Amino acid sequence: MRAIRSIQIAVVILLCIICQKLAAQQYPVRVQVQTLQPVSAQLSNLYNGSQARMIVTLLNTDLRKPTLNVRLRLNIKGTTIALRNRDYGSYPLVQLDAGLPVQLSLNDLAPYFNLDNLEVSGIPRAQLQQNGGKLPDGFYTFCVDVVEANSGQLISNDKQSCAPPVWISTSEPPLLNLPRKGEAVAFREPLNIVFNWTPRHMGSPNAAFLTEYEFTLVELWDNNILPEAAFGTMPPLYQTTTNATTLLYGPAQPPMLPGKRYGWRIRAIAKQGADIFDIFTNNGYSEIFYFNLQEDCQPPQQVAATVANGEAAITWAPQPKMFEYLVEYREQGNDNAQWFNVKSNDPQAVIKDAIPGHKYEYRVGGSCSLNSKTLGDVHAFEMPAKDAVDSGNCGLLSDIKLANDTVLKTLKPDDLIMAGDFPVRFTTLKGSGTYSGTGYITIPFLGYNRVKVKFDNIQVNTSHQLMKGMLMTTFDSTKLQGTNVDTIVKVLSDMASVINDLIHLTLDADYVTVQKMAEAIKKAAEEELPEELKTRMNHAANNLVQAKTEYDAAKKELADAKTPEAKAAAEQKVKDAEKKFDDAKKEVETVNKEKEELVSNVAGIIVKAIKELKEDAKDWDKSTDLPAKMAAMQQAMYNKQGLEETTDAGIGVAIGDIQPVTLSDAEVSDEMKEFDGVVEQFHLTNANVKAYKLVSAIQKFYETPASIAQFLSKDVALKGTSMLKTVMTDKMQGKKDEELIKVVKQSILDQLIIILNSDQLSK
């Protein structure tokens, strides 16, 4: 019993000692830290300027020590970075008298923000110094500890000396809208040009700053220098600041001259009172845009298109000021498709190389002065679809008689002429009246593919028709056949063009634009991708739309937020939506790269299959037997039918109304059966010859894996997209190359049968 009593006494004594220590652990200095929001990412903005952005209040509550000499220790804790004052640094001493608060701000705090006095973790110190002391985007907490100068002992409560968390971010400079980059602006009296831009910081805390926009206009004298490079070498023609995002440049501003090029730029400047805050990347400077100011040169009106006979005839009302007209056209639905053009001196032009079954957009303009052009509004037309094999002579020369024999003296690269039934567009050209150079020809019966041609000493009439000379196709087994896709082949709505559009798509685009992009991705995936890749692509497309929906909802939630906690939650949702959107874009690009690698892998298999098919087709080449078959058919038609062949044009022939007659098997004589057999043999031999020619042409065109990768997906005649998709699917399922070669050969044979049965090659 005595032992238990002793233990109880010991416990009581221990508790008394602990309580005495806890009671003694009172922090003599109270600290209050305030940061005025919004907080700039630039550390120097917290202690520079005319208004305090960070205030530290100290109070000595220890009446037993009426005077304390202390120094501060700054702690900045962020999402990815932490900064803390070194224990040994150059800091001023602060004297605290008991009961008297001391407030520190501006220059009082400058030593603590000096990078030489800060320990940096999370990112390299050099990166922070290189950025001029700018903090990365994220949430930050600013805390201040008080340390006694002599002992180095902490004399403030580090858990109660922090300001509320703040979100710090750096915003992008404005996006320039109008006038568009490289645009031709018509000069009018009086001159009124609207400049417009879009701020990109309104969805962040930086929107709380008062933002001014510095507008700078420069006249660019040297058109041979890139406008972006020339901009900084010239003094401003006009410079002003505005709080609006639109500026009207009118008669009150310095005059601009027609025929000159001008560059313009916006700088966003964030202010609070007289203080300027560095919250923008690139010091707030936007991209440099430029435009050409032209004479008063209105585009033609009353524009119309008429489609007939595989051509599109464009007409318009004459524009007296224009000395040359220009029709630009491209495939509809792809903003990155290249514009092609047809020039004319009359108020009409004909587009001859448009592909059947495709939609086009076009615009009509012209030139009122040298080195300038004005274009009108965009219109559209659609070429009606035709059979898989369209007109065109397979290895046959048309009997062309030209009524116009006037030689055209002036031709330029990118001009279009007709060589028989085939449109030819020039890429390089030299000469006058007689021309040499290169170009490409559109071949209808090969799926409207373009094939390179070269020519020497040709002549063209004023109707843009080839009247003298020959165009030779250029085949080289070491080089990719056809022309460069980026400069010649009109861009289709395929996966490659969709990916190109997706690169420039941002969450700031409207919902309909994002949805259309997702639909375009799904459509291209359905046409081009095997099932496994298609599933991944569709999932990524759905995530694009879902991310846009979540982003818009989060932005609205952020705008409506009233408390720091609500704002922080909404900002996190915005970041999550942005990440989801970026991840979806990356997944689309990844799948497309996998598809390209797969195409590259199967391209060699397809080339091998085509070569094998040509070897198999050698037995089809019955061209030496064709004359004998023709003679046998003629003999059956004339000699055995009691007829005589004649070449006398003077003999009159009258043919009455011919009616079809159906004969029974008993009524068909042996002579008729023999005649049918001879005719059938002739047509079979003729078909074999044509088939061999087609296979030879296909093998010559698709001679390398590179040509397969570039052109096969656009080959309508061979259904190249379907063939590639089938082979890629089989390849992913582990089928052997020998099996894939059989699949390709059979696919080509099926299409050859369609081509031969269409009876287009005999025209």
Compute CA distances 575 → 122, 555, 578, whole Å: 20, 10, 5
Q: What is the pLDDT of residue 256?
A: 93
Q: What is the pLDDT of residues 219-272, one digit of tens each?
A: 998 888 888 889 988 899 999 999 999 999 999 999 999 889 999 999 999 988
Q: Which residues contact 157 (CB under 8 A, 6 or more apart)?
A: 27, 30, 31
Q: What is the pLDDT of residue 605?
A: 80
Residue 684 corresponds to which amino acid? L
Asked if the model's pLDDT at residue 760 lies above 90, the reply is: no
Asked if the model's pLDDT at residue 444 lies above 60, the reply is: no
What residues does 220 pair with on adjacent strands?
Answer: 261
Secondary structure of 679-694 in HEC code, one letter for each residue: HHHHHHHHHHHHHHHH
Tell if the pTM clears 0.85, that is, is over it: no
Tell me the average pLDDT across 516-522. Answer: 78
Q: What is the pLDDT of residue 416?
A: 79
Asked if the model's pLDDT at residue 345 lies above 70, the reply is: yes
Residue ranges of the alpha helices (H) in 191-243?
227-231
Helix (H, G, I), strand (E, B) or coil at 619: helix
Quote the tokens at residue 366. 């012209």
Distance of alpha carbon 373 from alpha carbon 224, whole angstroms: 18
Superfamily of domain 304-382 in CATH is Immunoglobulins (2.60.40.10)
Tell me the average pLDDT across 116-141. Answer: 90
Q: What is the pLDDT of residues 681-707, one digit of tens each?
A: 666 666 666 766 777 777 677 677 676
Distance of alpha carbon 351 from alpha carbon 289, whole angstroms: 33
Residue where the block lists tokens 């000692």: 17
Confidence class for position 375, pLDDT limits 50, 70, 90: confident
Quote the tokens at residue 745. 């050969």
Q: What is the pLDDT of residues 736-756, one digit of tens each?
A: 888 878 887 787 777 776 666
Question: Where is 148: in which H helix or E strand?
Answer: strand 138-148
Does residue 144 contact residue 113 with C-beta atoms inside 8 Å? Answer: no
- CA-angle at 151, arms to 149 and 156, nearest 5°: 70
DSSP secondary structure, 48-62, as one string = SSSS-SEEEEEEE--
Range 175-294 has CATH code 2.60.40.10: yes
Highest mean pLDDT among 36-45, 96-105, 405-414, 724-733: 96-105
Summary mean pLDDT of the chain: 78
430 alpha-carbon distance from chain centroid: 35
CATH, range 6-168: 2.60.40.10
Q: What is the pLDDT of residues 167-204, one digit of tens each?
A: 898 999 999 998 888 888 878 788 899 999 999 988 88
Tell me the average pLDDT across 397-421. Answer: 72
Sheet containing 246-249, strands listed edge to edge, beginning at the edge strand earlier in sequence:
175-178, 193-198, 246-249
The count of other CB atoms within 10 Å of the CB of residue 608 is 17
